[in-house]
Amino acid sequence: MPQTILHADLDAFFASVEQLDRPELRGKPVVVGGPPERRGVVAAASYEARRFGVRSAMPMARALRLCPEALRVPPRFDRYAELSHRVMAIFRSITPLVEPLSLDEAYLGVTAEVEAHGGPERLARSLKERVQRETGLVVSVGVGANKSVAKIASDRGKPDGLVVVPAGKEAEFLHDLPVRDLWGIGPRSEELLHRAGVETIGDLARLPAEAATRLLGSRGAELRDMANGVDPRPVVTSRERKSVGAETTFPRDLPDGPELRAELRQLAEEVATRLRHEGKLGYTVTLKLRYHDFRTVTRQQTLARPVDAGDEVERVAAALLDGLGTAGARFRLVGVTCSRLVERGAWQPDLWGAVADPFADGPGRTAPAQAAEGQRPQD
Amino acid sequence: MKVAIPQDSLARALGIVSRAVPSRSPLPVVSNVLLTTDDHRLKLVATNLEIALTVWIGAQVSEEGTITVPARLFSEFVSQLKGDQPVQITLPPRSRQLNVHCGRDEANIGGMPADDFPVVPEVTDGQRLVLPARGLRRAIEEVVFAAARDDSRPVLTGVHVQVADGVAELAGADGFRLAVHRLRLPAPSAEGSPEPFSVNIPWSTLDHLGRLLSESGDVQMAVNGERTRALFRLDDIELVTQLIPGTFPNYQQLIPTTYATRARVSVEEFLHETKIAAIFARDGSGIVRLHVTPGEGGGPGSLQVSARADEVGDNRGEIDAAVDGEPSKIAFNSRYLIDVLSVLEPGELALETSGPSNPGVLRPLGHDDYVHVVMPMFVQW
């Protein structure tokens, strides 16, 4: 039986929340993020600001150069989490199959709901209207037979989009789109594909399987399938969360420095906000870094006491970064994850927690840094 | 080999050494028991390579010899034999079939050569001391349960034994609780008191040892010079164990020296109410909540033990308490409370607390030789 999956993505979410709460910002270029003098990065930009070329993860100083009249506001993650919660609740009232991807994005499994709503387009329209009416936010929606198609569809329609890809028309919809629109193709993969003459998703779809693997490594087969409109990943809901994480791929590779550190701070804050949102605390903080050559390393530290505050998560992540020896290295991605989660309402603190390094002379509980060398997908 | 032994003493000896036999081992001979004639005795040895148990029993030895046979099979067979007849054990020369004969029952058990059996290491060149069996048994009972069962911090799977100034202090701790028992040693002999030393003994070794200890008599303990092995000698039993390397963390700093509230309660009543609350706590992360209320106008105070689980239900139970200090509340994992209350001797204990997020302390009254520290759970009151 063909599936119907809906991808819902709030437009310029953080910036829209600011414009919602502060009417004087409406219709104006708004950028959310830390101040340029503290090397802040853009967490979100309103569509008015995007017209000037401002993008997420861009250094704030650069954003303000591109758009000098932009109004900068500091992020308020707790407020975003609150609104995200309300939007997700609307999604859940439509279908129990909701898989949130982040605060502003979710997949909805709506196969069983489509008929009762009079078809996918009507369902998507009523969802958009409810979100607008009940929260004042604008959500772009894509509907398709699988996750990959639905996500590309919601992206194509932005802002305030509604794109339905009828079953069986996936290839037609995808084939003329640029290959970077495919989930999982970043700037680096795009460049490699371009060099091989692959410009559109259709070009990738027509590529022999071996060529796809040669160009894209282990993900080649999966990406080629997606290019052909095939994506078997199911909508996963209500799993017991084992971790909460966030990561950013930079528009260009960054050295360790104020920009990277600012991004780390923002990720830590986002992770901490989501932990609080879910009523959890995390014992283990993991830092993920991808080097310019796709080599990926993770470093983690387990704490004596679980945390849910942004500055605590940031402090641990920053210390892990300090311990890495980053001189001369350039990074394309940074991520922060909290794991070993416990309920905030009731958890068992550690007896040794209050004592400064009781294991200084003996074997430690957890190696402070565990390394995991990643694969080079391009090799 | 040709030996005759009373059935009951052979069955008892096999029962003891069998505890060291691992249920699964990469080395097949380790699931066997080693039988060796030793003067006028039969020596039985079993090992799981971490500990080795040796038992000697009086026997009528007509021919010397040695063999290993499957411990479980041999032990089960012997335990079923009639007690009023001696068991005749015969190993013909150059044979690996042990013939076991008792009254009208007879069996042949295939064995493996004694040479294949691991050698039990000697423990000779280090410290020696004498421990009172009864006191050691109690100390083990009160401490072993608190040692860590998972080996994320390997040193905590051991019980730390520190000998100094005529006292052996046993301490067990996992991440959440600490049990410390101070065992007074018998007056030093003519050789003088033992040199101070400390070792980490695997909790499972002490658990085995505790089951072997009787109500009276002494236990001799020896540690080798490298502090890698220890030996315990009871009358006709020897236990040799590996020790756990590493420095046990300084636990003294975990024992609070002050309190805001001290409640004296009956150990039995506290245990009883905790067990009731644990039924309700089962669906709520095992949380048991304690409320201590001082008495008014000279009346007794109270300790309320309660638990609740969302959508399941709740309960409250109350016992008398002589309270010193302010009213207090604290929440514990029910299992941690039951573990310690179950091993304390009947009588009174003092529960000392300093707020809901600081460690609670339990001290049996009348013995200043034991203290238990347990970390409360963080709950939303």
> Please, which pLDDT band fits residue A238 given cuts at 50, 70 and 90?
low
Within 8 A of B244 by CB-CB distance, chain A residues are: none
CA gap A89, A85 in Å, rounded: 6
Within 8 A of B249 by CB-CB distance, chain A residues are: 352, 355, 358-359, 361-362
Q: What is the pLDDT of residues A251-290, one digit of tens each?
A: 788 999 999 999 999 999 999 998 988 888 898 999 999 9
Q: Does B247 touch chain A (CB under 8 A)?
A: yes
Q: Does A305 touch chain B (CB under 8 A)?
A: no
A269 is catalytic: no
Contact assignment for A361 to B359 by CB distance below 8 Å: no
Kindly state the percentage of chain A with pLDDT values over 90: 51
Portion 147-186 of B in contact with A at CB < 8 A: 152-155, 173, 175-178
B128-252 placed in CATH 3.40.50.300: no
B2-116 placed in CATH 3.10.150.10: yes
CATH code of the region A243-373: 3.30.1490.100
Tallying the residues shown for chain A, one arrives at 379
> Pick from A345, A350, A355: which is nearest to B253 by CB?
A355
> Pick from A344, A359, A366: which is nearest to B249 by CB?
A359
Specify the DSSP class assigned to residue A59: B
Report the candidate in A312, A241, A258, A274 with the shortest Cα–Cα distance to residue A102: A274
CA gap A45, A16 in Å, rounded: 9
Within 8 A of A362 by CB-CB distance, chain B residues are: 153, 155, 246-249
Q: Does B200 touch chain A (CB under 8 A)?
A: no
Burial-class residue A353 by CB neighbours within 10 Å (0-12, 13-18, 19+). Answer: middle
Distance from CA of B332 to the nearest CA of A (A): 8
Amino acid A368: pLDDT: 35
Find out whether B147 and B140 touch, Cβ atoms under 8 Å: no
Judged against a pLDDT cut of 90, whether residue A187 lies above it is answered with no
Give the residue from B375, B377, B380, B381 with the most A CB atoms within 10 Å of its CB, the best one to mutate: B375
Amino acid B327: pLDDT: 96
Contact assignment for B246 to A363 by CB distance below 8 Å: yes
Specify the DSSP class assigned to residue A41: B
Give Cα B136 to chain centroid, integer Å: 10
Q: Write out chain B's pLDDT in tens, 381 residues.
A: 999 999 999 999 999 999 999 887 778 899 999 999 999 999 999 999 899 999 999 999 999 999 999 999 999 999 999 888 899 999 998 899 999 999 999 999 999 999 999 999 889 888 889 999 999 999 999 999 999 987 778 899 999 999 998 899 999 999 899 999 999 998 766 566 678 899 999 999 999 999 999 888 899 999 998 899 999 999 999 999 999 999 999 999 999 999 999 999 999 999 999 999 999 888 667 899 999 999 887 778 999 999 987 667 899 999 999 999 999 999 999 999 999 999 999 999 999 999 999 999 999 998 889 999 999 998 878
Nearest-by-CA chain A residue for B153: A365
CA gap A253, A46 in Å, rounded: 24
Contact assignment for B249 to A345 by CB distance below 8 Å: no
Burial-class residue A93 by CB neighbours within 10 Å (0-12, 13-18, 19+). Answer: exposed
Q: Considering only A157-171, A200-214, A226-240, B97-111, which range has the smallest mean pLDDT?
A: A226-240
> Pick from A349, A358, A362: which is nearest to B375 by CB?
A349
Amino acid A240: pLDDT: 55
Judged against a pLDDT cut of 50, whether residue A375 lies above it is answered with no
Report the candidate in B279, B345, B285, B351 with the shortest Cα–Cα distance to residue B319: B351
Within 8 A of A352 by CB-CB distance, chain B residues are: 175, 249, 254
| Alpha-carbon distances, residue B291 vs A345, B304, B306, B353, B354 (angstroms) | 19, 5, 8, 11, 13
| Alpha-carbon distances, residue B105 vs A81, B101, B108 (angstroms) | 78, 6, 11
**A160 CB-side CA count, 13 A:** 8
Find out whether B227 and B44 touch, Cβ atoms under 8 Å: no
Residue with the larger pLDDT of the pair A157 and B27:
A157
Contact assignment for B374 to A351 by CB distance below 8 Å: yes
Q: Does A350 touch chain B (CB under 8 A)?
A: yes
Amino acid A96: pLDDT: 80
Distance from CA of A346 to the nearest CA of B (A): 4
Tokens standing for residue B120: 């039990």
> Pick from A348, A358, A359: which is nearest to B375 by CB?
A348
Nearest-by-CA chain B residue for A362: B247
Find out whether A272 and A79 touch, Cβ atoms under 8 Å: no
Contact assignment for B378 to A349 by CB distance below 8 Å: yes
Amino acid A372: pLDDT: 39
CATH code of the region A1-167: 3.30.70.270
| Per-chain mean pLDDT for chain A | 86
Amino acid A356: pLDDT: 44
Q: Does A362 touch chain B (CB under 8 A)?
A: yes
Contact assignment for A351 to B176 by CB distance below 8 Å: yes
Fold of the B256-374 domain: DNA Polymerase III; Chain A, domain 2 (3.10.150)
Neighbouring CB atoms inside 10 A of B37's CB total 20
Burial-class residue B211 by CB neighbours within 10 Å (0-12, 13-18, 19+). Answer: exposed
| Interface contacts (A, B; CB < 8 Å) | 69
**A193 CB-side CA count, 13 A:** 29
CA gap A83, A91 in Å, rounded: 13
Find out whether B201 and B242 touch, Cβ atoms under 8 Å: no
Sorted by where each begins, the domain ranges of chain B are 2-116, 128-252, 256-374
Amino acid B311: pLDDT: 66
Within 8 A of B179 by CB-CB distance, chain A residues are: none
Neighbouring CB atoms inside 10 A of A191's CB total 11
Tokens standing for residue B83: 């007690």
Sorted by where each begins, the domain ranges of chain A are 1-167, 169-233, 243-373
Distance from CA of A354 to the nearest CA of B (A): 8
Residue with the larger pLDDT of the pair A186 and A148:
A148
Which of the residues A105, A263, A269, A270 is marked catalytic? A105
Contact assignment for A346 to B249 by CB distance below 8 Å: no
Within 8 A of B285 by CB-CB distance, chain A residues are: 343, 346
Amino acid B162: pLDDT: 96
Longest distance between any two alpha carbons in chain B, whole Å? 86
Nearest-by-CA chain A residue for B377: A348
> Pick from A349, A353, A363: which is nearest to B155 by CB?
A363
ipTM of this complex > 0.85? no
Give the residue from B151, B200, B378 with the most A CB atoms within 10 Å of its CB, the best one to mutate: B378
Give the residue carrying structure tokens 């989501």: A274
CA gap B35, B5 in Å, rounded: 12
Tokens standing for residue B207: 């658990």
Contact assignment for B249 to A355 by CB distance below 8 Å: yes
A169-233 placed in CATH 1.10.150.20: yes
Give Cα A168 to chain centroid, integer Å: 29
CA gap A222, B297 in Å, rounded: 78
Find out whether A98 and A85 touch, Cβ atoms under 8 Å: no
Nearest-by-CA chain A residue for B359: A351
Q: What is the pLDDT of residues A302-353, one digit of tens each?
A: 887 789 999 999 999 999 999 988 888 999 899 999 998 887 777 787 787 6
Specify the DSSP class assigned to residue A355: S
